[in-house]
A = this chain, B = another copy of it.
């Protein structure tokens, strides 16, 4: 099947109106498309309604709207909620296209297979966020310029993939196609480990003395920012990606231990500061340059998933 790139979006149904889901509701609504949300807590739903958006605390009602309108359902709740939420989707809106914005992909894919095996599901992960959470932290511009990973395994359905990628583009993001396992290893390294290094930096610094906190400046402020994320949200992210996180955490411990031994025995931290600096320059280069567009791929054509992944591995992004 070949999908054209100017396909219009179906209505969007956002489940969970925290930082990511709420920001998505606002961004889609501001772009003039039909969108509505569900939130478990009344406070979040009321805040969305008060701000002029359509939101409900009634999951059955919301999924009824989705089923009636053939909406794209976006799961924007923590990974820990999936075992409750997915069976309801399977029951009440089984035919809707389905995606999520959870920060791990293999665990979500397994949960979908368990609770809703016939789902038209393609996972996603917008690389956007702050250490704040809840509706009050939402920002319709949150996704502008962000990388939005869309699961591009060999079995990805072209129509669903294209709908989700179009949604990402419609709120200003760039689409990074990747396999679930490669994504999970990547975010373990560049998002989940940074939470633990921020946590340990904060804990050691604050534990030293009141003088230390008084003297703390830019390196501590920036290096510990994401330790301010609610512990329950940190745990939901990190613990859902345990195997990949164990690997990068072990590597970090090994490198720090080597640095400690080098400092103790030879008075230097040359290896780690050189490696760290080189790595940061590599990041600056990637982040500072306009990414190239993936070209010559028609979504749905033979081998489109592999070709998207291949070009993404060269640093290219899908721009529609």
Determine the chain B residues whose CB is within 8 A of the CB of A291 once the complex forms: 214
Whether the Cβ atoms of A198 and B176 lie closer than 8 Å is no
Whether the Cβ atoms of B186 and A273 lie closer than 8 Å is no
Q: Does A6 count as interface, using CB distance less than 8 angstroms?
A: no
Interface 9-mer from A39-47, A64-72, A239-247: A239-247
Oligomeric state, in number of copies? 2
* A220 to B, closest residue via Cβ: B190
Please provide the chain A residues from 251 to 296 with a CB less than 8 Å away from any CB of chain B in the complex.
Answer: 251-253, 255-257, 259-260, 263-264, 267-270, 272-284, 286-287, 291
Q: Report A151 CB to chain B, min CB distance, Å.
A: 13
Given the known interface contacts A190-B215, A218-B129, the answer about A277 and B204 at a Cβ–Cβ threshold of 8 Å is no
Best-surrounded residue of A269, A276, A282 (most CB of chain B within 10 A): A276
Interface 9-mer from A85-93, A158-166, A177-185, A298-306: A177-185
Please provide the chain A residues from 169 to 202 with a CB less than 8 Å away from any CB of chain B in the complex.
Answer: 176, 178, 182-183, 185-191, 193-202
Given the known interface contacts A239-B269, A242-B263, A276-B202, the answer about A223 and B226 at a Cβ–Cβ threshold of 8 Å is yes
Interface 9-mer from A21-29, A49-57, A308-316: A308-316
Determine the chain B residues whose CB is within 8 A of the CB of A264 once the complex forms: 246
Q: Does A109 count as interface, using CB distance less than 8 angstroms?
A: no
Whether the Cβ atoms of B279 and A203 lie closer than 8 Å is yes
In the assembled complex, the Cα of A251 lies from the Cα of B207 at a distance in Å of: 10
Whether the Cβ atoms of B268 and A260 lie closer than 8 Å is no
Q: Report A242 CB to chain B, min CB distance, Å.
A: 6
Whether the Cβ atoms of A231 and B270 lie closer than 8 Å is yes
Whether the Cβ atoms of B315 and A279 lie closer than 8 Å is no
Whether the Cβ atoms of B224 and A279 lie closer than 8 Å is yes
Q: Does A225 count as interface, using CB distance less than 8 angstroms?
A: yes
Please provide the chain A residues from 205 to 222 with a CB less than 8 Å away from any CB of chain B in the complex.
Answer: 205-222
In order of increasing CB-CB distance, the 10 nearest A-B pairs are: A199-B276, A206-B279, A189-B208, A202-B279, A186-B212, A227-B276, A227-B280, A127-B217, A194-B223, A190-B216
The answer, among B216, B239, B242, B272, for a CB contact under 8 Å with A203, is: B272
The answer, among B190, B238, B268, B273, for a CB contact under 8 Å with A273, is: B238
The answer, among B235, B251, B317, for a CB contact under 8 Å with A204, is: B251
Q: Does A31 count as interface, using CB distance less than 8 angstroms?
A: no
In the assembled complex, the Cα of A280 lies from the Cα of B242 at a distance in Å of: 24
In the assembled complex, the Cα of A284 lies from the Cα of B314 at a distance in Å of: 40
Given the known interface contacts A205-B279, A267-B242, the answer about A252 and B217 at a Cβ–Cβ threshold of 8 Å is no
